[in-house]
Amino acid sequence: METAEKIIQWRRELHRHPEEGWTEFWTTGFVARQLADMGLAPRVGQEVIDPAARMGLPAPEVEARARQRALAEGLEPYWLERMGRTTGLVADVGPADAPLALVLRCDMDALPLMEAQEASHRPVREGFVSRHEGLCHACAHDGHMALGLGLAAQLTAPDAAPLRQRVRLLFQPAEEGVRGAASMVSHVAGARHFLAVHIGLGAPRSGDLVTGVGAFLATSKFDVRFTGRAAHAGAAPEQGRDALKGAASALLGLHALPRHGHGTSRICVGRLEGGSSRNTVPASAFMACETRGNNSEVNDDMLRRARDVIAGAAVMHGLEWRLDVVGGAPSAASDAAFAALLARCARELPPDARGGGCFPLPRIREQGDMGASDDATTLMRAVQAQGGLAAYAFLGADLAAGHHQPGFDFDEAVLWPGVRWLEKVCRELAG
Protein backbone atom coordinates (compact mmCIF):
# COMPACT_ATOMS: atom_id res chain seq x y z
CA MET A 1 0.00 0.00 0.00
CA GLU A 2 1.31 3.46 -0.90
CA THR A 3 1.93 6.12 1.71
CA ALA A 4 -0.83 8.30 0.23
CA GLU A 5 -3.35 5.61 1.16
CA LYS A 6 -1.76 4.68 4.48
CA ILE A 7 -1.91 8.20 5.87
CA ILE A 8 -5.68 8.28 5.44
CA GLN A 9 -6.01 4.89 7.13
CA TRP A 10 -3.79 6.06 10.00
CA ARG A 11 -5.76 9.27 10.38
CA ARG A 12 -9.05 7.39 10.51
CA GLU A 13 -7.84 4.84 13.03
CA LEU A 14 -6.55 7.64 15.26
CA HIS A 15 -9.86 9.47 14.81
CA ARG A 16 -11.73 6.43 16.15
CA HIS A 17 -9.71 6.47 19.38
CA PRO A 18 -9.64 10.06 20.71
CA GLU A 19 -7.96 10.58 24.08
CA GLU A 20 -7.63 13.72 26.19
CA GLY A 21 -4.31 15.23 27.22
CA TRP A 22 -2.08 13.01 29.39
CA THR A 23 -4.33 10.00 28.71
CA GLU A 24 -3.17 9.28 25.12
CA PHE A 25 -2.08 5.73 25.99
CA TRP A 26 -3.70 3.93 23.05
CA THR A 27 -2.59 6.74 20.72
CA THR A 28 1.02 6.59 21.90
CA GLY A 29 1.11 2.83 21.52
CA PHE A 30 -0.44 2.93 18.05
CA VAL A 31 2.02 5.54 16.77
CA ALA A 32 4.94 3.75 18.41
CA ARG A 33 3.99 0.44 16.76
CA GLN A 34 3.80 2.02 13.29
CA LEU A 35 7.21 3.66 13.76
CA ALA A 36 8.75 0.46 15.11
CA ASP A 37 7.43 -1.43 12.09
CA MET A 38 9.32 1.10 9.93
CA GLY A 39 12.55 0.16 11.69
CA LEU A 40 12.67 3.15 14.03
CA ALA A 41 13.22 3.04 17.79
CA PRO A 42 10.58 5.23 19.43
CA ARG A 43 11.03 6.29 23.04
CA VAL A 44 7.73 6.64 24.87
CA GLY A 45 6.07 8.09 27.95
CA GLN A 46 8.34 8.21 30.97
CA GLU A 47 11.35 7.75 28.69
CA VAL A 48 10.83 11.19 27.13
CA ILE A 49 8.65 13.27 29.50
CA ASP A 50 9.95 15.49 32.31
CA PRO A 51 7.43 14.70 35.06
CA ALA A 52 8.13 17.91 36.98
CA ALA A 53 7.15 20.04 33.96
CA ARG A 54 3.78 18.42 33.28
CA MET A 55 0.78 20.68 33.86
CA GLY A 56 -2.95 20.15 34.16
CA LEU A 57 -2.84 16.45 35.01
CA PRO A 58 -5.99 14.32 35.02
CA ALA A 59 -7.35 12.84 38.23
CA PRO A 60 -5.79 9.44 39.06
CA GLU A 61 -9.07 7.64 38.42
CA VAL A 62 -9.38 9.26 34.98
CA GLU A 63 -5.87 8.14 34.10
CA ALA A 64 -6.55 4.61 35.37
CA ARG A 65 -9.73 4.31 33.27
CA ALA A 66 -7.87 5.54 30.20
CA ARG A 67 -5.15 2.91 30.68
CA GLN A 68 -7.70 0.13 31.02
CA ARG A 69 -9.67 1.36 28.02
CA ALA A 70 -6.50 1.44 25.91
CA LEU A 71 -5.69 -2.17 26.81
CA ALA A 72 -9.26 -3.22 26.05
CA GLU A 73 -8.95 -1.58 22.63
CA GLY A 74 -5.79 -3.46 21.73
CA LEU A 75 -2.87 -1.50 23.19
CA GLU A 76 0.09 -3.85 23.53
CA PRO A 77 1.05 -4.21 27.23
CA TYR A 78 4.69 -3.88 26.14
CA TRP A 79 4.16 -0.24 25.19
CA LEU A 80 2.07 0.55 28.25
CA GLU A 81 4.76 -0.84 30.54
CA ARG A 82 7.37 1.31 28.83
CA MET A 83 5.16 4.41 29.01
CA GLY A 84 4.59 4.19 32.73
CA ARG A 85 1.96 6.70 33.75
CA THR A 86 2.48 9.22 30.99
CA THR A 87 2.23 9.53 27.23
CA GLY A 88 3.99 10.99 24.18
CA LEU A 89 6.94 9.76 22.15
CA VAL A 90 10.06 10.74 20.26
CA ALA A 91 11.64 8.96 17.29
CA ASP A 92 14.69 9.89 15.22
CA VAL A 93 15.38 9.20 11.56
CA GLY A 94 19.01 9.34 10.43
CA PRO A 95 22.42 8.52 11.92
CA ALA A 96 22.32 8.49 15.72
CA ASP A 97 25.53 10.51 16.05
CA ALA A 98 24.64 13.10 13.40
CA PRO A 99 23.55 16.69 14.10
CA LEU A 100 19.86 17.28 14.77
CA ALA A 101 18.71 19.14 11.66
CA LEU A 102 14.96 19.35 12.32
CA VAL A 103 12.37 18.61 14.98
CA LEU A 104 8.78 18.20 13.75
CA ARG A 105 6.12 18.54 16.47
CA CYS A 106 2.90 16.55 16.08
CA ASP A 107 0.26 17.04 18.79
CA MET A 108 -1.78 14.04 19.90
CA ASP A 109 -4.68 14.89 22.20
CA ALA A 110 -8.40 15.13 21.49
CA LEU A 111 -11.12 17.35 22.92
CA PRO A 112 -13.81 16.71 25.56
CA LEU A 113 -16.53 17.15 22.95
CA MET A 114 -19.28 14.87 21.66
CA GLU A 115 -18.77 14.24 17.96
CA ALA A 116 -21.69 14.84 15.59
CA GLN A 117 -23.75 11.70 15.04
CA GLU A 118 -25.74 12.71 11.95
CA ALA A 119 -25.44 10.48 8.88
CA SER A 120 -24.29 13.51 6.91
CA HIS A 121 -21.12 13.66 9.04
CA ARG A 122 -18.48 11.81 7.00
CA PRO A 123 -16.87 9.95 9.94
CA VAL A 124 -20.32 8.51 10.69
CA ARG A 125 -21.09 7.78 7.06
CA GLU A 126 -17.74 6.10 6.38
CA GLY A 127 -17.31 4.31 9.69
CA PHE A 128 -14.56 6.14 11.56
CA VAL A 129 -16.53 8.21 14.07
CA SER A 130 -15.23 8.46 17.64
CA ARG A 131 -15.68 5.31 19.72
CA HIS A 132 -15.44 7.32 22.94
CA GLU A 133 -18.55 9.16 24.07
CA GLY A 134 -17.79 12.78 24.89
CA LEU A 135 -14.39 12.78 23.19
CA CYS A 136 -13.44 13.55 19.60
CA HIS A 137 -10.66 14.82 17.37
CA ALA A 138 -12.12 18.21 16.46
CA CYS A 139 -8.84 20.09 15.98
CA ALA A 140 -7.08 17.90 13.39
CA HIS A 141 -4.52 16.41 15.76
CA ASP A 142 -5.32 13.03 14.20
CA GLY A 143 -4.24 14.56 10.89
CA HIS A 144 -1.07 15.99 12.40
CA MET A 145 -0.06 12.55 13.65
CA ALA A 146 -0.84 11.08 10.23
CA LEU A 147 1.50 13.67 8.69
CA GLY A 148 4.27 12.59 11.07
CA LEU A 149 3.73 8.91 10.32
CA GLY A 150 3.59 9.59 6.59
CA LEU A 151 6.85 11.52 6.74
CA ALA A 152 8.49 8.66 8.63
CA ALA A 153 7.23 6.19 6.03
CA GLN A 154 8.69 8.24 3.19
CA LEU A 155 12.06 8.73 4.89
CA THR A 156 12.41 5.03 5.78
CA ALA A 157 11.09 3.54 2.53
CA PRO A 158 13.34 0.84 1.03
CA ASP A 159 14.17 3.01 -1.97
CA ALA A 160 14.64 6.24 0.04
CA ALA A 161 18.07 7.86 0.13
CA PRO A 162 19.48 7.82 3.68
CA LEU A 163 19.68 11.09 5.58
CA ARG A 164 23.07 12.50 6.52
CA GLN A 165 21.66 14.32 9.56
CA ARG A 166 18.86 13.54 11.98
CA VAL A 167 15.18 14.42 11.79
CA ARG A 168 13.25 14.05 15.04
CA LEU A 169 9.54 13.32 15.20
CA LEU A 170 8.16 14.66 18.48
CA PHE A 171 4.63 13.49 19.27
CA GLN A 172 3.44 15.79 22.05
CA PRO A 173 0.66 15.09 24.55
CA ALA A 174 -1.69 17.67 26.02
CA GLU A 175 -1.53 20.56 23.57
CA GLU A 176 -5.11 21.50 24.40
CA GLY A 177 -4.81 23.72 27.44
CA VAL A 178 -1.12 24.28 26.53
CA ARG A 179 -0.01 21.71 29.11
CA GLY A 180 2.44 19.37 27.40
CA ALA A 181 5.25 21.09 25.51
CA ALA A 182 7.17 22.24 28.58
CA SER A 183 7.75 18.61 29.54
CA MET A 184 9.51 17.90 26.21
CA VAL A 185 11.80 20.93 25.90
CA SER A 186 14.91 18.78 26.36
CA HIS A 187 14.19 17.06 23.04
CA VAL A 188 14.79 20.22 21.00
CA ALA A 189 18.23 20.79 22.56
CA GLY A 190 20.76 21.19 19.75
CA ALA A 191 18.10 21.35 17.04
CA ARG A 192 18.93 23.65 14.14
CA HIS A 193 15.31 23.91 13.01
CA PHE A 194 11.89 23.36 14.56
CA LEU A 195 8.56 23.08 12.75
CA ALA A 196 4.96 22.61 13.84
CA VAL A 197 2.14 22.24 11.30
CA HIS A 198 -1.57 22.80 11.90
CA ILE A 199 -4.28 21.77 9.46
CA GLY A 200 -6.82 24.49 8.74
CA LEU A 201 -7.08 27.47 11.12
CA GLY A 202 -5.67 30.42 9.16
CA ALA A 203 -5.76 28.42 5.91
CA PRO A 204 -9.33 27.07 5.61
CA ARG A 205 -9.07 26.01 1.93
CA SER A 206 -7.46 22.93 0.45
CA GLY A 207 -4.36 23.90 -1.50
CA ASP A 208 -3.36 26.78 0.79
CA LEU A 209 -0.05 26.72 2.64
CA VAL A 210 1.18 29.36 5.09
CA THR A 211 4.79 28.72 6.08
CA GLY A 212 5.46 31.46 8.64
CA VAL A 213 2.74 31.97 11.25
CA GLY A 214 3.11 34.62 13.94
CA ALA A 215 0.94 36.72 16.28
CA PHE A 216 0.69 33.96 18.87
CA LEU A 217 -0.85 35.06 22.15
CA ALA A 218 1.02 34.22 25.33
CA THR A 219 -1.36 32.57 27.76
CA SER A 220 -1.78 31.29 31.31
CA LYS A 221 -4.46 28.78 32.25
CA PHE A 222 -5.36 28.65 35.94
CA ASP A 223 -7.88 27.09 38.30
CA VAL A 224 -9.15 28.93 41.37
CA ARG A 225 -10.72 27.27 44.41
CA PHE A 226 -12.51 29.21 47.12
CA THR A 227 -13.23 27.61 50.50
CA GLY A 228 -15.81 29.06 52.89
CA ARG A 229 -18.12 27.61 55.52
CA ALA A 230 -21.48 25.92 55.05
CA ALA A 231 -24.53 27.02 57.03
CA HIS A 232 -28.31 26.77 56.87
CA ALA A 233 -29.41 29.43 54.42
CA GLY A 234 -32.64 30.12 56.34
CA ALA A 235 -31.92 29.50 60.02
CA ALA A 236 -28.32 30.71 60.33
CA PRO A 237 -26.96 32.36 57.16
CA GLU A 238 -24.71 34.63 59.22
CA GLN A 239 -22.70 31.58 60.28
CA GLY A 240 -21.76 30.80 56.69
CA ARG A 241 -19.00 32.04 54.43
CA ASP A 242 -20.38 32.04 50.89
CA ALA A 243 -17.70 30.70 48.54
CA LEU A 244 -19.94 30.93 45.48
CA LYS A 245 -20.69 34.59 46.13
CA GLY A 246 -16.97 35.22 46.51
CA ALA A 247 -16.28 33.48 43.21
CA ALA A 248 -19.02 35.49 41.51
CA SER A 249 -17.47 38.70 42.84
CA ALA A 250 -14.09 37.57 41.53
CA LEU A 251 -15.58 36.77 38.12
CA LEU A 252 -17.06 40.25 37.79
CA GLY A 253 -13.83 41.81 38.99
CA LEU A 254 -11.73 39.84 36.53
CA HIS A 255 -13.87 40.85 33.58
CA ALA A 256 -13.81 44.46 34.79
CA LEU A 257 -10.01 44.62 34.59
CA PRO A 258 -8.93 47.27 32.06
CA ARG A 259 -7.21 46.01 28.94
CA HIS A 260 -3.46 46.51 28.74
CA GLY A 261 -1.99 49.65 27.19
CA HIS A 262 1.17 47.91 25.97
CA GLY A 263 -0.52 45.31 23.80
CA THR A 264 -3.48 43.03 23.21
CA SER A 265 -4.83 41.36 26.35
CA ARG A 266 -7.60 38.89 27.14
CA ILE A 267 -9.15 37.36 30.24
CA CYS A 268 -11.88 34.75 30.47
CA VAL A 269 -13.63 32.79 33.19
CA GLY A 270 -14.84 29.81 31.21
CA ARG A 271 -16.32 27.83 34.07
CA LEU A 272 -17.83 28.69 37.47
CA GLU A 273 -19.45 26.21 39.81
CA GLY A 274 -20.06 25.75 43.50
CA GLY A 275 -22.43 24.84 46.28
CA SER A 276 -24.30 21.66 47.13
CA SER A 277 -27.99 22.48 47.66
CA ARG A 278 -30.41 25.38 47.36
CA ASN A 279 -30.76 25.91 51.13
CA THR A 280 -27.10 25.68 52.14
CA VAL A 281 -24.60 28.52 52.08
CA PRO A 282 -22.00 27.28 49.54
CA ALA A 283 -18.80 26.17 51.25
CA SER A 284 -16.77 25.79 48.07
CA ALA A 285 -16.53 27.19 44.56
CA PHE A 286 -14.36 26.61 41.52
CA MET A 287 -13.38 28.76 38.54
CA ALA A 288 -11.47 27.79 35.38
CA CYS A 289 -9.80 30.88 33.95
CA GLU A 290 -7.28 32.09 31.42
CA THR A 291 -5.34 35.21 30.52
CA ARG A 292 -3.73 36.02 27.19
CA GLY A 293 -1.49 38.73 25.82
CA ASN A 294 0.29 39.43 22.57
CA ASN A 295 3.53 39.15 24.50
CA SER A 296 4.57 37.48 27.72
CA GLU A 297 4.94 40.80 29.56
CA VAL A 298 1.30 41.70 28.94
CA ASN A 299 0.09 38.20 29.83
CA ASP A 300 2.15 38.07 33.02
CA ASP A 301 0.76 41.44 34.09
CA MET A 302 -2.80 40.26 33.46
CA LEU A 303 -2.15 37.18 35.60
CA ARG A 304 -0.68 39.32 38.41
CA ARG A 305 -3.71 41.59 38.41
CA ALA A 306 -6.03 38.58 38.29
CA ARG A 307 -4.40 37.26 41.46
CA ASP A 308 -5.03 40.61 43.16
CA VAL A 309 -8.72 40.55 42.20
CA ILE A 310 -9.15 36.98 43.43
CA ALA A 311 -7.39 37.72 46.71
CA GLY A 312 -9.57 40.79 47.23
CA ALA A 313 -12.77 38.85 46.62
CA ALA A 314 -11.66 36.20 49.10
CA VAL A 315 -10.95 38.80 51.80
CA MET A 316 -14.27 40.55 51.18
CA HIS A 317 -16.21 37.32 51.73
CA GLY A 318 -14.02 35.78 54.43
CA LEU A 319 -12.76 32.92 52.27
CA GLU A 320 -9.61 30.93 51.77
CA TRP A 321 -8.43 30.62 48.18
CA ARG A 322 -5.90 28.80 46.03
CA LEU A 323 -4.76 29.47 42.47
CA ASP A 324 -3.11 26.69 40.45
CA VAL A 325 -1.51 27.39 37.07
CA VAL A 326 -2.42 24.37 34.93
CA GLY A 327 -1.12 25.46 31.54
CA GLY A 328 0.84 28.16 29.80
CA ALA A 329 2.76 29.18 26.71
CA PRO A 330 4.74 32.23 25.59
CA SER A 331 4.21 34.32 22.50
CA ALA A 332 6.40 33.56 19.49
CA ALA A 333 6.93 34.32 15.82
CA SER A 334 8.24 32.25 12.94
CA ASP A 335 11.69 33.08 11.63
CA ALA A 336 11.36 34.73 8.22
CA ALA A 337 14.39 32.94 6.78
CA PHE A 338 13.01 29.51 7.69
CA ALA A 339 9.52 30.44 6.46
CA ALA A 340 11.08 31.42 3.13
CA LEU A 341 12.88 28.07 2.88
CA LEU A 342 9.66 26.21 3.66
CA ALA A 343 7.82 28.18 0.98
CA ARG A 344 10.56 27.55 -1.56
CA CYS A 345 10.38 23.80 -0.90
CA ALA A 346 6.63 23.93 -1.52
CA ARG A 347 7.04 25.92 -4.75
CA GLU A 348 9.69 23.51 -6.04
CA LEU A 349 7.62 20.41 -5.23
CA PRO A 350 6.83 18.66 -8.53
CA PRO A 351 3.58 16.80 -9.16
CA ASP A 352 3.59 13.14 -8.20
CA ALA A 353 3.13 10.29 -10.70
CA ARG A 354 -0.61 10.94 -10.71
CA GLY A 355 -0.16 14.63 -11.47
CA GLY A 356 -1.07 15.84 -7.97
CA GLY A 357 0.46 15.97 -4.52
CA CYS A 358 1.65 19.58 -4.73
CA PHE A 359 0.48 23.14 -4.03
CA PRO A 360 -0.79 25.78 -6.49
CA LEU A 361 1.94 28.43 -6.52
CA PRO A 362 -0.37 31.42 -5.86
CA ARG A 363 -1.69 29.68 -2.73
CA ILE A 364 1.68 29.54 -0.95
CA ARG A 365 2.22 32.38 1.54
CA GLU A 366 5.12 33.08 3.88
CA GLN A 367 3.21 35.07 6.51
CA GLY A 368 0.06 34.52 8.55
CA ASP A 369 -1.35 35.24 11.99
CA MET A 370 -2.48 32.83 14.68
CA GLY A 371 -4.36 35.19 16.99
CA ALA A 372 -4.62 32.38 19.56
CA SER A 373 -2.24 30.12 21.50
CA ASP A 374 -0.39 26.83 21.02
CA ASP A 375 2.37 25.57 23.27
CA ALA A 376 4.48 24.75 20.25
CA THR A 377 5.69 28.28 21.03
CA THR A 378 7.48 26.89 24.09
CA LEU A 379 9.52 24.67 21.79
CA MET A 380 9.94 27.41 19.16
CA ARG A 381 11.36 29.81 21.73
CA ALA A 382 13.71 27.14 23.10
CA VAL A 383 15.17 26.49 19.64
CA GLN A 384 15.45 30.20 18.84
CA ALA A 385 17.18 30.84 22.18
CA GLN A 386 19.96 28.41 21.21
CA GLY A 387 20.48 30.03 17.81
CA GLY A 388 18.22 27.79 15.73
CA LEU A 389 15.32 28.70 13.47
CA ALA A 390 11.66 27.89 14.15
CA ALA A 391 8.43 28.11 12.20
CA TYR A 392 4.77 27.27 12.52
CA ALA A 393 2.81 26.49 9.36
CA PHE A 394 -0.83 26.22 8.35
CA LEU A 395 -1.67 23.38 5.94
CA GLY A 396 -4.88 24.51 4.25
CA ALA A 397 -7.91 22.23 4.15
CA ASP A 398 -11.58 22.49 3.32
CA LEU A 399 -13.47 22.06 6.59
CA ALA A 400 -16.90 20.55 7.26
CA ALA A 401 -17.22 22.74 10.37
CA GLY A 402 -14.95 24.97 12.40
CA HIS A 403 -12.30 23.74 14.80
CA HIS A 404 -13.58 22.63 18.22
CA GLN A 405 -17.07 22.04 16.81
CA PRO A 406 -18.89 18.66 16.89
CA GLY A 407 -19.10 18.46 13.09
CA PHE A 408 -15.42 19.22 12.47
CA ASP A 409 -13.78 17.23 9.69
CA PHE A 410 -11.15 18.13 7.11
CA ASP A 411 -10.33 17.25 3.51
CA GLU A 412 -8.01 14.24 3.82
CA ALA A 413 -6.65 14.87 0.33
CA VAL A 414 -4.36 17.55 1.81
CA LEU A 415 -2.37 14.98 3.80
CA TRP A 416 -0.41 13.62 0.85
CA PRO A 417 0.85 17.00 -0.43
CA GLY A 418 1.68 17.83 3.18
CA VAL A 419 3.79 14.70 3.58
CA ARG A 420 5.58 15.25 0.26
CA TRP A 421 6.35 18.85 1.25
CA LEU A 422 7.68 17.79 4.65
CA GLU A 423 9.87 15.15 3.03
CA LYS A 424 11.34 17.76 0.69
CA VAL A 425 12.04 20.02 3.67
CA CYS A 426 13.82 17.16 5.43
CA ARG A 427 15.91 16.40 2.33
CA GLU A 428 16.82 20.08 2.12
CA LEU A 429 17.89 20.33 5.77
CA ALA A 430 19.17 16.84 6.58
CA GLY A 431 19.77 15.11 3.25
Would you say 48 and 187 are in contact if contact means Cβ atoms under 8 Å apart? yes
Query: Sign of the C-alpha dihedral, residues 290, 188, 10, 73?
Result: negative
Q: How far is CA 182 from CA 28, 77, 106, 220, 361, in A?
A: 18, 27, 14, 13, 36
232 marked as part of a ligand binding site = no
247 phi and psi angles, rounded to 5 deg: -65, -40
17 marked as part of a ligand binding site = no
Burial (CB < 10 A; 0-12, 13-18, 19+), residue 288, is: middle
Q: Could you tell me where the DSSP H helices lie in 239-375? A: 243-255, 296-316, 336-347
CA distance 187 to 252: 42
Residues whose CB falls within 8 Å of the CB of residue 265, separated by 6 or more in sequence, listed in order: 259, 291, 292, 293, 294, 298, 299, 301, 302
390 phi and psi angles, rounded to 5 deg: -135, 150
260 marked as part of a ligand binding site = no
3-state secondary structure of 285: strand
CA distance 86 to 63: 9
132 marked as part of a ligand binding site = no
268 marked as part of a ligand binding site = no
CA distance 350 to 421: 10
Would you say 115 and 406 are in contact if contact means Cβ atoms under 8 Å apart? yes
CA distance 196 to 185: 14
297-336 CB burial, b ≥16 within 10 A, e <16: ebbbbbbebbeebbeebbeebebebebeebbbbbbbbbbe
Q: How far is CA 21 from CA 13, 24, 29, 212, in A?
A: 18, 6, 15, 27
Known binding residues: 139, 141, 176, 198, 404
**Binding positions for Mn(2+):** 139, 141, 176, 198, 404
